[in-house]
Amino acid sequence: MKLIFEKSRPGRRAADLPASDVPPVDLNDAIGEKYLRGDLEMPEVAEIDLVRHFTNLSRRNFGVDLGFYPLGSCTMKYNPKVNEDAAALPGFAGLHPAASESFAQGNLELMFSMQRLLSHIFGMAEFTLQPAAGAHGELTGVMMIKKYFESRGEKRGIILIPDTAHGTNPASGALCGFETVTLRSNAEGGVDLEHLESLMSANVAALMLTNPNTLGLFERGIEKVAALVHGKGGLLYGDGANANAFLGKVRPGDLGFDIIQLNLHKTFSTPHGGGGPGSGPVGVCAKLADYLPVPRIAKKGEVYSWSDNYPQSIGRVRSFYGNFAVVVKAYAYIRSLGAEGLRRATEMAVLNANYIKEKLKPHFDLPYDRVCMHECVFSGSRQAAQNGVHTTDIAKRLIDFGFHPPTVYFPLIVEQAMMIEPTETESKETLDAFCDAMIAIALEASQNPQLVKDAPFSTPVARLDEVLAARRPDVTWKKQ
């Protein structure tokens, strides 16, 4: 396929519009010659070539509407389109965020109700919807932790981070001035309780625990973990990015978590990836409620309003009140599924992950062979040791079978890691096809390893030198 620049011919235009009745402006005087078409080397093509160019480009994109996204830790699941329609309703999409409270009663009621729903689902006292994404929610949560201890006159300087945590956890702690200390995992992929006990002291502000963790494993010793942290006066923070693994089954607040951040765009129906949009609500136990961001939604009778009357608050963390459209989609998702539907979604996510785990176990190493939750983590160490076929080779070869690769080389404690998350929305037929492809690649790796190393073959561009592309990117187009 030719580049659009190669189709360019001087004088071609996509449309010939009638003359404008607006007085002309000399662009040379208005914005300078460097911004004109000639200096930018913009292509000149007919409308049909323009349409075909962008249509063909769109067909090179891979999305969940086209195929299976086994992308562990990011929950690239299919989301019902009706939730998109709900967020696009004029009363939601058309209302200006600075509109007065009297014009926004329905929107305020939805957010207020959403906070109540999340509090009930996760067993927390209060929620804020302000943070714009999961990592932003983490930062908001750690800011509240810091403010909590400052208000008590305590200077705690350490936050514990398990070695199975998401990479944003230590970043959030460091941004708030804490020293982050790594907590080891035990042989079964959970928290090493002896190591935790040795690290806990009066200088530890919190343990940031992802449960289930990035190995897809539920923390079996969660009650003991909570007791060790609380016994030294610390707080137990929950990274709720993997919440689709326990909805309707267990509530973090009941397990001893003091604070939790969610990813609405992963668990509650918003297309995820490409940088957003996202939403990272934060829920807290009663003793942390006064530190939530402002403004908060207040209800008096049947009237909703904004309130800043919280002296202990960490302040505002987002312009206006977060990504409202994402909240609408999540609200529609929760209300349409109901309690039984959310519970069923969790059951299917766990069932699908364990189905894949059992089917692929004979063909790839499984470092932690126990019942998993929403995702399972394999290792390509066997293929790497035997034939020099690494995880990245397996991932690229999978593209030729029509599947998006899973997350690779994460979590870091698993050598040659492949993290596979099927989500609750995929059928058994899709999972079987994916497993058949993975099994076929394992066979290729042993019988024809060079084939796997040279993949992919079906993509518009052959395998790239990723190191060179990262260190010396060249995005310029040179006219032949």
Taking the C-alpha atoms of residue 60 and residue 69, their distance in angstroms, rounded to an integer, is: 15
pLDDT category at 246 given cuts 50, 70, 90 is very high
| Span 54-94, pLDDT tens digits | 999 888 888 888 889 898 767 778 888 899 999 999 999 99
pLDDT category at 350 given cuts 50, 70, 90 is very high
Q: Which of 131, 127, 151 is nearest to 139 (CA)?
A: 131
pLDDT category at 465 given cuts 50, 70, 90 is confident
Taking the C-alpha atoms of residue 252 and residue 285, their distance in angstroms, rounded to an integer, is: 10
Burial of 400 (0-12, 13-18, 19+ CB in 10 A): middle
CATH entry 3.40.50.670 includes domain 342-470:
no
Per-residue pLDDT at 4 exceeds 90: no
The residues pairing with 127 across neighbouring beta strands, listed in sequence order, are 283
Q: Over pLDDT 90: what percentage of the chain?
A: 75
In the three-class reduction of DSSP (H, G, I as helix; E, B as strand; rest coil), residue 183 is classed as strand
Burial of 246 (0-12, 13-18, 19+ CB in 10 A): buried
CATH number for the segment(s) 81-337 = 3.40.640.10
- DSSP E strand stretches across 119-251: 126-128, 158-162, 179-183, 204-210, 235-240
pLDDT category at 31 given cuts 50, 70, 90 is low
Domain ranges of the chain: 81-337, 342-470
Matching fold, domains 81-337 and 342-470: no
Per-residue pLDDT at 479 exceeds 70: no
Choice among 28-32, 139-143, 226-230, 358-362 with the minimum mean pLDDT: 28-32
